[in-house]
Amino acid sequence: MTTQTLTPSSILGEDGHIARRLTTYEHRGEQVEMAEAVAEAIASKSHLIAEAGTGVGKSFAYLVPVMLAAASRQKQEKDRQRIVISTHTISLQEQLIHKDLPFLNAVLPIECSSVLVKGRSNYISLRRLKGAAEKSSTLFGEQDEVQQISRVRQWAGDTHDGSLTDLGFRPIGSVWDEVKSEHGNCLGRKCPTYDKCHYYAARRRAWNADILVVNHALFFSDLALRREGASVLPDYDVAILDEAHTIEAVAGDHLGLSVTNGQLTYLFNRLYNDRTQKGLLLHHNMTAEQQLVHRLRFVSDDFFSHISHWLGEQRGNGRVRQPIAIDTPLMDDLRHLAVQMNTYAERLEDEAQKIELTSSADRLVGLSLALDTWLKQRQDDAVYWAEQFGRQRQNIKLVSAPIDVGPVLRDELFNQINTVVLTSATLSVGESDFSYFRSRIGLTKSEEIKLGSPFDYRTQAKLILADGMPDPSSQARAFEQAAIERIKRHILETDGRAFVLFTSYHMLQACANKLTAWCSSQNLLLLCQGGGTHRTALLDKFKQEDRAVLFGTESFWQGVDVPGEALQNVIITRLPFSVPDHPLLQARVERIRENGGNPFMEYQVPEAVIKLRQGFGRLIRSKSDTGQVVILDPRILTKPYGRTFLASLPECETIIDDGRH
Task: Return the pLDDT at 547.
Answer: 92
CATH class of the domain at 8-113+209-250+405-451: alpha beta
Q: 176-200 pLDDT, tens per residue?
A: 999 999 988 898 998 999 999 999 9
Cβ atoms within 10 Å of 454's Cβ, excluding its own: 18
Domain ranges for the chain: 8-113+209-250+405-451, 122-195, 256-402, 457-657
- Are the folds of 8-113+209-250+405-451 and 457-657 the same? yes
Show Cβ contacts of residue 476 under 8 Å, excluding neighbours closer than 6 positions: none
Question: Does residue 463 sit in helix, strand or coil?
Answer: strand
257-260 and 382-389 beta bridge pairing: unpaired
CA 194/CA 197 separation, integer angstroms = 5
Percent of the chain with pLDDT over 70: 98
Show Cβ contacts of residue 10 under 8 Å, excluding neighbours closer than 6 positions: 1, 16, 17
Per-residue pLDDT at 122 exceeds 80: yes
Q: What's the average model confidence in pLDDT over 34-57?
A: 96
CA 49/CA 181 separation, integer angstroms = 37
Task: Return the pLDDT at 79.
Answer: 62
| Run of H or E including 220 | helix 216-226
Binning the chain into helix, strand and coil, the percentages to the nearest 5 are 50, 15, 35
Query: Alpha helix (H) ranges present in 347-434?
Result: 351-376, 406-409
Q: 572-594 pLDDT, tens per residue?
A: 999 999 887 899 999 999 999 99
CA 392/CA 66 separation, integer angstroms = 51
> What is the chain's length?
661
* CB neighbour burial string for 121-149, b if at least 16 within 10 angstroms, e if fewer: ebbbbbbbbbbbbebbebbbeeeebeebb
Per-residue pLDDT at 399 exceeds 70: yes
The pTM for the full model equals 0.91
* CA distances in angstroms from 131 to 201, 207, 281, 282, 350, listed in the order given: 21, 29, 14, 15, 12
Task: Return the pLDDT at 3.
Answer: 46
Q: What's the average model confidence in pLDDT over 142-158?
A: 92
Q: 351-376 and 261-271 are packed helices; what angle lies between their axes, rounded to 10 degrees? A: 160
Task: Return the pLDDT at 64.
Answer: 96
The dihedral sign for the CA sequence 14, 20, 23, 28: negative
Per-residue pLDDT at 74 exceeds 70: no
Residue 602 near residue 437, CB atoms below 8 Å: no
Predicted confidence band of residue 141 (pLDDT cuts 50, 70, 90): confident
CATH of domain 256-402: 1.20.120
What homologous superfamily does CATH list for 457-657?
P-loop containing nucleotide triphosphate hydrolases (3.40.50.300)
Q: What is the average pLDDT value for the chain, to the nearest integer?
A: 92
Per-residue pLDDT at 77 exceeds 70: no
Per-residue pLDDT at 507 exceeds 90: yes
